[in-house]
C-alpha cells in the first residue's frame, strides 16, 4: 500500500497549524524586499525559490496574519446585511499573503527542512493556532455566516454557492463558534498546545530517522546489495565522518527497502529492530508522552464540541459518517487479510526450511526482518522473476516521462515539457509545463523524487498555487517521493512499489491540476479525507496497463523493451504478497481508530502507550509478529497530522477505486472519451459537489466491495444461516 501524504491547502480560516497575529513586526522596510508579500511574477505565480530567504518567511507570516485579521474584522463589522458576496466571497478573498507564506513554509518543511525552517515551525505553531481561532471564534463573523446558512435555499444562489455557505458554516461550528466564552477559551488553549506538540512530534520523527541510520563496519555484511547501493552507503558514511564504513539510512516506515536484498540475517534484524524502536526508546526523540497528550487533547476538544470521541468528531464530516461504518469495514477485511498473510508466511517458512536443509543447517522461524527477503525468493520461484530482474527496466525519469506522463497523455490528451529556467529549492527537483490538448497551459508540475535527510518520509502531493476561477489562478502542484539517490553517475532504478507510488502520487497531482472551480476553498483535493485518495488510487491502474507498461519498461542501458514473458509475469503476480500488504496497512488503520475512539478518561499515560498498541493489535486479530503495522504509534506521522482518525481513508477510497477500475475496463480502458468523462465529471469538480455523488456520476451505481476483494485476492466467508451444516 502506498502511503501518500496530501498537503492540500485549506480555507484561510482553517489553515494548517503552523503559525498568529501580532502585526507589530511587519515593518515596511523589511516588506519591500520580501518575495512572499506579493504574488510571484513568475509564470502561474510559481514560487521564486531563488528570491525567498528563510528570514523572509516570518515577516510574511506576520504581515499575512495582520492583513487577514483586518479583512475579517471588516467583514464581521460590515453594517450592511450579510450577503453571499460581502461575507462568503469576502472570506474567500481574505488571507492571501498568509496563505502564500504558510503554504511555502509547510511545503518546505516537508521537502527540505533546515534549522531555520524548523525554528520557524516551532516559533509560529501556537501563534498560527491562535490566529485561526481569532478568525473562527469571532462572534460577529459567525452571526453573519449563520444568517446566510439559515437562508441559503432562499437566496437565489446556485448549488455550488449554497454548498460553499454550508462549508463555511460547518467549518466555523466545528472550530467552536457555538461554544460559550469559557468553552472558547479552553478551545484556544487546546489548539495552541496541540500545535506546539504536533510540530515537536514531526521534528522528533525527522531527527530520529537521521539519528537512527545503521552503521555497518564491513562491506561483506552488505552482500546482496548492488555495487551502486554499496557506493551510496559508503558516501553516506563519508558525509558523517565515518570513512571506510557504510551507513544505511532509514525511511519513516516500519519496513525498510534494503531488507529485501540483504543476505546477512543479523544485519536485517538490527535494521528492523532499530526501525521499530524509533520514538519509544526513552531518548530525546521519544514521542510516547506527546502521543498521550495529543490524544487526550483531541478527546477533550471533541467533548467540548458535543462528540463522545475524536473519531466521532472527524468521521461526522467524512463520507463514512460514523465509527460503525469504519470499524465494520476494517473488521470485515482484517480476518481475511491476516489469514492470507499467514498462508504467505507458510510459503516463506517452507522456503527457509528448504534452504537451511540444503545447507545442512538448522532452520529458524520466520521473523518480520525475513519477510521481504524471502518473499522475493518465493516470488522468483512462483512467477519466475524478482525485483532485481525488473529494476534495470525501471529507470526513474523514463518511468515518469514515458509511463506516468504517457498514460495521462493517452487518457486526457495532456502533454508535458521540461523547463530548466525556473528556480528550484533543491538541485534534484524537476519542473514541467503541462498543456491541455488544445495547447493551452494547464499547470506547472514539480517532481521531487529523491530521499534526503532534510525530507520527511513517505510520499505526498502538495499545491504551491491552487486553481481558482475567483483569482484566475492556474495550479502549481508537486509530487514528492523518497527514492534512495544512487551514487553520482549511476542510474536511478526503481522497485515495483516505487513505480506504483509514482503513478499514485500523480493521480493526486491530476486531481489538483484538473480542478476547474471558482472558489479556492473548493479547489483540487479539498474533498473529504476518505475521498481524497480515490482518484490517486485509480491512477495506479495504468502502471500495469499493457500499452503503458510496454512504453516505459525499457532497459536503461540498451533501450530494449522488457521481454514479453517478463511483462506477463509481472501482470500475473499482481496479487502476490497482498495478504502482507493488506495486513500491515489494516493494523495501522485500526491502531488509528482505536486511539481516537478512546473516551477522554481512558487515554493511557505515556508509559502505557506501547502497551495499548500491543493490546489493540492482539484484540483486533493482528497478533502475527511476522507482519507488524506499517507505522507504529510513536512514528505514525499521518495520525499526528491530517489523518487523525482518517488513516482508514486509503482502503475506504480503494473500494471506490476498484469499482472505477472495473468501469474503465468494461468500457475499453485507456480511451480519451473515458478520460475526458472522468476529468469533467469528477477530477475537475474538487469539493464543489458531494463526493459520493461525483463517484456515482461516473460509475453509475453505489460502491460495491467485491471488486476490492477480487483485486487483493481476499476471500471473506459469509456467516452461515441457522441450520446450515458446518
Structure confidence by residue, pLDDT tens digits, 576-598? 999 999 999 999 999 999 999 99
395-412 confidence digits (pLDDT tens): 999 999 999 999 999 999
* pLDDT attached to residue 363: 98
Q: What is the mean pLDDT of residues 484-497?
A: 92
CA distance 447 to 431: 6
**What distance in Å separates the CA atoms of residue 550 and residue 261, rounded to the nearest whole number?**
26
Do 19 and 105 meet the contact criterion of CB atoms below 8 Å apart? yes
Q: What is the pTM of this model?
A: 0.92
Tell me how crowded residue 712 is: count the other CB atoms within 10 A of its CB: 21
CA distance 575 to 705: 17
Does the pLDDT at position 283 exceed 70?
yes
Question: How would you write 498-542 as a 3-class SS string?
Answer: HHHHHHHHHHHHHHHHCCCCCCHHHCCCCCCHHHHHHHHHHHHHH
Taking all residues of the chain, what is their mean pLDDT, rounded to a whole number?
A: 93
Res 23: pLDDT: 33
Question: Looking at residue 720, what is its pLDDT?
Answer: 53
CA atoms within 13 A of residue 321's CA, in its CB half-sphere: 4
CB 501 within 8 A of CB 458: no
613 is catalytic: no
Asked if 464 and 40 count as a contact pair (C-beta separation under 8 A), the reply is no
Report, in this order, helix, strand and coil percent for the chain, each rounded to 5.
Answer: 60, 5, 35
Return the biggest CA–CA distance within the chain: 89
pLDDT at 718: 62
Confidence bin at 564 (pLDDT 50/70/90): confident
pLDDT value of position 716? 77
Q: From the candidates 261, 344, 505, 533, give the one annotated as an active-site residue.
A: 505
Give the closest residue to 388 by CA, choosing from 494, 489, 481.
494
Query: Which pLDDT does position 66 carry in this prediction?
Result: 98
CB 462 within 8 A of CB 448: no
**Domains along the chain?**
4-178 (1.10.1370.40), 212-277 (no CATH), 323-384+577-647 (no CATH), 391-572 (1.10.1370.40)
Amino acid at each position: 500500500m502506498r502511503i501518500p501524504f496530501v498537503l492540500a491547502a485549506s480555507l484561510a480560516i482553517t489553515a494548517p497549524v503552523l503559525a498568529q497575529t501580532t502585526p507589530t513586526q511587519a515593518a515596511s522596510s523589511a516588506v519591500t524586499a520580501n518575495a512572499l508579500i506579493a504574488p510571484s511574477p513568475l509564470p502561474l505565480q510559481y514560487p521564486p525559490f531563488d528570491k525567498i530567504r528563510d528570514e523572509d518567511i516570518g515577516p510574511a507570516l506576520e504581515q499575512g496574519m495582520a492583513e487577514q485579521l483586518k479583512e475579517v474584522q471588516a467583514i464581521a463589522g460590515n453594517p450592511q446585511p450579510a450577503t453571499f458576496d460581502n461575507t462568503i466571497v469576502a472570506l474567500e478573498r481574505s488571507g492571501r499573503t498568509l496563505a502564500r507564506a504558510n503554504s511555502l513554509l509547510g511545503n518546505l518543511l516537508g521537502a527540505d527542512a533546515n534549522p531555520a525552517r524548523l525554528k520557524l515551525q516551532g516559533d509560529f505553531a501556537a501563534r498560527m493556532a491562535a490566529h485561526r481561532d481569532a478568525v473562527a471564534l469571532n462572534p460577529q463573523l459567525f452571526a453573519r455566516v449563520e444568517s446566510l446558512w439559515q437562508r441559503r435555499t432562499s437566496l437565489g444562489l446556485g448549488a455550488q454557492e449554497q454548498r460553499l455557505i454550508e462549508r463555511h458554516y460547518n467549518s466555523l461550528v466545528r472550530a467552536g463558534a457555538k461554544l460559550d466564552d469559557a468553552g472558547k477559551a479552553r478551545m484556544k488553549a487546546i489548539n495552541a498546545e496541540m500545535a506546539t506538540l504536533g510540530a515537536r512530534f514531526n521534528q522528533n520523527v525527522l531527527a530520529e530517522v537521521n539519528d537512527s541510520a545503521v552503521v555497518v563496519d564491513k562491506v561483506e555484511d552488505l552482500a546482496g546489495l548492488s555495487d551502486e547501493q554499496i557506493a551510496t552507503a559508503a558516501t553516506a558514511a563519508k558525509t558523517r565522518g565515518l570513512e571506510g564504513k557504510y551507513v544505511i539510512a532509514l525511511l519513516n516506515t516500519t519496513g525498510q527497502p534494503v531488507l529485501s536484498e540483504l543476505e546477512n540475517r543479523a544485519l536485517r534484524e538490527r535494521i528492523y529492530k532499530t526501525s521499530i524502536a524509533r520514538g519509544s526508546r526513552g531518548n530525546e526523540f521519544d514521542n510516547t508522552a506527546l502521543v498521550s497528550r495529543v490524544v487526550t487533547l483531541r478527546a477533550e476538544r471533541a467533548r467540548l464540541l458535543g462528540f463522545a470521541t475524536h473519531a466521532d468528531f472527524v468521521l461526522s464530516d467524512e463520507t463514512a459518517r460514523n465509527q460503525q461504518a469504519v470499524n465494520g469495514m476494517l473488521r470485515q477485511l482484517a480476518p481475511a487479510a491476516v489469514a492470507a498473510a499467514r498462508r504467505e508466511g507458510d510459503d516463506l517458512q517452507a522456503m527457509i526450511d528448504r534452504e537451511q536443509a540444503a545447507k545442512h543447517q538448522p532452520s529458524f522461524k520466520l521473523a518480520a526482518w525475513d519477510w521481504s527477503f524471502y518473499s522475493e525468493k518465493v516470488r522468483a520461484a512462483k512467477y519466475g522473476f524478482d525485483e532485481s530482474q525488473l529494476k534495470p527496466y525501471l529507470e526513474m525519469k523514463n518511468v515518469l516521462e514515458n509511463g506516468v506522463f504517457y498514460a495521462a497523455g493517452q487518457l486526457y490528451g495532456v502533454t508535458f515539457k521540461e523547463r530548466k529556467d525556473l528556480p528550484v529549492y533543491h538541485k534534484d527537483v524537476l519542473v514541467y509545463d503541462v498543456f491541455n490538448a488544445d495547447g493551452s497551459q494547464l499547470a506547472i508540475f514539480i517532481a521531487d523524487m529523491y530521499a534526503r535527510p532534510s525530507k520527511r518520509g513517505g510520499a505526498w502531493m502538495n499545491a504551491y498555487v491552487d486553481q481558482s476561477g475567483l483569482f484566475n489562478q492556474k495550479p502549481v502542484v508537486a509530487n514528492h517521493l523518497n527514492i534512495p539517490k544512487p551514487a553520482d553517475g549511476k542510474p536511478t532504478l526503481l522497485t515495483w512499489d516505487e513505480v506504483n507510488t509514482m503513478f499514485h502520487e500523480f493521480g493526486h497531482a491530476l486531481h489538483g491540476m484538473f480542478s476547474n472551480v471558482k472558489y479556492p476553498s473548493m479547489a483540487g483535493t479539498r474533498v473529504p479525507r476518505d475521498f481524497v485518495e480515490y482518484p490517486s488510487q485509480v491512477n495506479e491502474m495504468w502502471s500495469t496497463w499493457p500499452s503503458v507498461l510496454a512504453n516505459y519498461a525499457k532497459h536503461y542501458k540498451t533501450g530494449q523493451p522488457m521481454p514479453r514473458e517478463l511483462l506477463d509475469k509481472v501482470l500475473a503476480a499482481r496479487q502476490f504478497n497482498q495478504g502482507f500488504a493488506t495486513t500491515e496497512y489494516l493494523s495501522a488503520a485500526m491502531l488509528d481508530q482505536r486511539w481516537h475512539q478512546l473516551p477522554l478518561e481512558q487515554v493511557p499515560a505515556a508509559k502505557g502507550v506501547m502497551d495499548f498498541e500491543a493490546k489493540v493489535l492482539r484484540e483486533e486479530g493482528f497478533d502475527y509478529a511476522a507482519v507488524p503495522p506499517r507505522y507504529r504509534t510513536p512514528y505514525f506521522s499521518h495520525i499526528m497530522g491530517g489523518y487523525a482518525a482518517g488513516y482508514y481513508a486509503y482502503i475506504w477510497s480503494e473500494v471506490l477505486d476498484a469499482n472505477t477500475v472495473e468501469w474503465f475496463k468494461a468500457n475499453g480502458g485507456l480511451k480519451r472519451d473515458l478520460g475526458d468523462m472522468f476529468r469533467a465529471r469528477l477530477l475537475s469538480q474538487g469539493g464543489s459537489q458531494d463526493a459520493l455523488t461525483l463517484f456515482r456520476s461516473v460509475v453509475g451505481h453505489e460502491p460495491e466491495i467485491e471488486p476490492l476483494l477480487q483485486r487483493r485476492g481476499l476471500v471473506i466467508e459469509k456467516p452461515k444461516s441457522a441450520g446450515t451444516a458446518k
